[in-house]
């Protein structure tokens, strides 16, 4: 079962979202605990002002209406605010509105304990939405009570009935919002949204800076892993990522020096081997002229061994020189069909390979392409049959494919075919296996032309090698 890959950018933002969720839960439980202990603290803010304002409005309006119309007006308030309104007298008895049964915790709060003088009605000349700052506060309450629990709010009014009973306004809701009278959720949601947006704006540049730099490091490391030891990370940071980039640059430089030294030694050794091998071949020729018939068989075996050594040394020298191709060759205009026909005439004059290619022009390194494609065709002829060569230009690239119907290559060996001295098990025989440098030379030649080469198995059987080259003619 494969694991879901989540980019670092997503992980950091996920942890940020989780952090906000935890804070929101803590805030929720804090408010829940506060509500359970009591809600009178809310009366000191906007909820208290809204309750007082609606009490003032009802006082003003009802003082100018006959009592017979009060129930209908309370019903209108019920529908308008989504809250049940009721009027209770100073003894805690409901006298107007939809029937409400207050729980025992609410009943003591309904009794108006103001001195009799303060319970007398006032006749305001106009409705007010907010109590004047210098006016004494009217007794108010807000609580959560009952089973099932409901939210209760009330305020004593400057309003009396015809029998002289002072009234209190009671509002009941199943939710804390109370139709927006008790608790207006939207400002809190807006505040939370604004906090989220501001936090994201503050975090995203920081997160993008980290993930972007890590992406740069990853790209550079990938190129270094593919042998691009001149790759360097130019961005500078003063934190641990900056130290890591410095280490990566130092590692690339040291690897580059090591590989150059290794290649130089390999080339020097191969070059030095040429002279003794040539002298041994000359000496062997002299010995063959003076040998007896019984010795001829052994001398022929020795000659084959020397020829194999000479070819191996030649391939090592070619491999070492392939890296310096861009310094030794100049790009030129190339007719791809003509180049392939010349390669086939040299490598397979009698095989009758199938060639499907149009008139494609390239501007590249002729000798490098000749050597790289020639090695692939030589390998295909050695191991397979029914070889097809196709080429096409698309999306600014030229794709050249050499496909065969041979024994193919195991899937695990496909990615290693272009490594120096690597040969699949089936190709390790001396008579057919070669030196293991042909495809490695091909890769260096194609990369010198700013191209890529890859091998893949064909459906059924066989192997397909695809070369991709830039298709840009000089202006």
pLDDT in tens, 193-212: 888 788 778 778 877 888 88
Task: Give the pLDDT of residue 71.
Answer: 92
Domain covering 233-323 in this structure, CATH number? 1.10.287.130
pLDDT interval class at 465 (50, 70, 90): very high
Q: Inform me whether the pLDDT recorded for 107 exceeds 80.
A: yes
Rounded to a whole number, what is the distance in angstroms from the first to the last CA of the chain? 52
CATH of 325-470, one of 3.30.565.10, 3.40.50.300, 3.40.30.10, 3.30.70.120: 3.30.565.10
Range 38-183 classified under CATH 3.30.479: no
CA–CA gap between residue 95 and residue 165 (Å, rounded) = 10
If 0-12 CB within 10 Å is exposed, 13-18 middle and 19+ buried, where does residue 425 land?
exposed
Report domain extents, the chain: 38-183, 233-323, 325-470
Q: What is the pTM of this model?
A: 0.50
Residue, of 31 and 2, whose pLDDT is higher:
31
CA–CA gap between residue 256 and residue 244 (Å, rounded) = 18
- Which tokens belong to 179? 């139709």
CA–CA gap between residue 51 and residue 338 (Å, rounded) = 93
Number of H helices, E strands in the chain: 12, 12
User: What is the 8-class DSSP label of residue 227?
Assistant: T
If 0-12 CB within 10 Å is exposed, 13-18 middle and 19+ buried, where does residue 276 land?
exposed
pLDDT interval class at 291 (50, 70, 90): confident
CA–CA gap between residue 375 and residue 345 (Å, rounded) = 14
Alpha carbon 109 to its chain centroid, in Å, reads 59
Quickly count: other Cβ atoms within 10 Å of residue 246's Cβ: 13
Mean pLDDT of 85-107: 89
Q: Are strands 166-173 and 150-160 parallel, antiparallel or unpaired?
A: antiparallel
Whether residue 52 contacts residue 155, with contact meaning beta carbons closer than 8 Å, is answered with yes
pLDDT interval class at 475 (50, 70, 90): very low
Whether residue 129 contacts residue 73, with contact meaning beta carbons closer than 8 Å, is answered with no
Mean residue pLDDT of the chain comes to 80
């Amino acid at each position: 079962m494969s694991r879901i890959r989540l980019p670092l950018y997503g992980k950091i933002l996920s942890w940020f979202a989780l952090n906000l969720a935890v804070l929101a839960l803590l805030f929720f439980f804090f408010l829940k605990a506060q509500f359970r202990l009591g809600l009178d603290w809310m009366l000191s803010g906007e909820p208290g002002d809204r309750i007082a304002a609606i009490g003032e409005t009802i006082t003003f309006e009802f003082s100018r209406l006959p009592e017979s119309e009060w129930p209908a007006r309370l019903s209108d308030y019920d529908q308008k605010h989504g809250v049940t309104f009721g009027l209770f007298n100073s003894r805690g008895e409901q006298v107007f509105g939809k029937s409400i049964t207050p729980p025992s915790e609410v009943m003591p709060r309904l009794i108006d304990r103001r001195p009799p003088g303060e319970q007398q009605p006032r006749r305001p000349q106009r409705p007010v939405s907010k109590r004047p700052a210098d006016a004494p506060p009217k007794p108010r309450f807000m609580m959560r009570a009952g089973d099932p629990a409901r939210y209760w709010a009330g305020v004593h009014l400057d309003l009396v009935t015809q029998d002289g009973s002072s009234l209190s306004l009671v509002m009941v809701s199943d939710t804390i919002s109370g139709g927006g009278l008790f608790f207006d959720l939207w400002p809190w949601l807006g505040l939370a949204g604004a906090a989220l947006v501001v936090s994201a704006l503050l975090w995203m540049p920081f997160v993008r800076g980290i993930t972007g730099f890590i992406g740069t490091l990853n790209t550079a490391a990938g190129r270094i892993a593919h042998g691009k030891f001149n790759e360097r990370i130019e961005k500078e940071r003063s934190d641990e990522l900056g130290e890591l980039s410095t280490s990566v640059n130092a590692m690339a430089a040291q690897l580059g020096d090591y590989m150059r030294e290794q290649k130089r030694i390999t080339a020097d050794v191969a070059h030095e081997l040429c002279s003794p091998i040539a002298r041994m071949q000359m000496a062997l020729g002299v010995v063959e002229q003076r040998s007896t018939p019984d010795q001829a068989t052994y001398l022929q075996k020795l000659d084959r061994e020397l020829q194999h050594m000479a070819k191996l040394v030649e391939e090592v020298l070619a491999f070492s020189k392939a890296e310096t191709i861009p310094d030794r060759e100049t790009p030129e205009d190339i007719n791809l069909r003509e180049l392939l026909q010349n390669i086939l005439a040299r490598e397979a004059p009698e095989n009758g390979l199938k060639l499907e290619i149009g008139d494609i022009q390239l501007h590249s390194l002729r000798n490098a392409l000749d050597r790289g494609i020639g090695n692939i065709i030589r390998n295909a002829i050695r191991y397979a049959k029914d070889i097809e060569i196709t080429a096409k230009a698309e999306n600014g690239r030229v794709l050249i494919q050499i496909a065969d119907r041979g024994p193919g290559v195991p899937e695990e060996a496909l990615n290693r075919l272009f490594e120096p001295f690597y040969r699949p098990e089936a190709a390790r025989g001396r008579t057919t296996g070669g030196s293991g440098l042909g495809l490695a030379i091909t890769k260096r030649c194609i990369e010198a032309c700013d191209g890529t080469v890859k091998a893949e198995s064909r459906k059924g059987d066989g192997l397909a090698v695809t070369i991709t080259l830039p298709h840009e003619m000089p202006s």
